[in-house]
Structure 1
Amino acid sequence: MKKEKGNFDFVKEPEEEKSNYIFQKDKITKNVTYFVIAVLVLLILAVILSGVLI
């Protein structure tokens, strides 16, 4: 696999044939994104609640 310098795209569309991208636009990426956001929100709430209750 040949590495290309620079010129990276953030999101790859499903019909595009290229290898220089960060995320792919598919169901797995969307589900993982929602999961990570939910975990971050829960952690933020836990920090806020621990400060309020102590």
Structure 2
Amino acid sequence: MQEKHMNNRFQGKVALVTGAAQGIGRGVCWRLKAEGAQVVAVDRSELVHELAGEGVLTLT
């Protein structure tokens, strides 16, 4: 999808992404964030914490 098609269609929505630490799941997190979603990322791997450092999600 090209940038011109990006909008805030997920603004005000919460998205739960499993397998979010790497690969497709990580890419989905980035895309959802770019389109306005609040992202809840879940993974067995501690690599998921890197998403917080990248600004994709906030750890609480």
Structures share a fold, TM > 0.5? no
Structure with the larger RCO, 1 or 2 (CA within 8 Å, 6+ apart): 2
TM-score, normalised to structure 1, is 0.29
TM-score, normalised to structure 2, is 0.27
Give 1 or 2 for the bigger CA radius of gyration: 1
Q: Which has the higher helix share?
A: 1
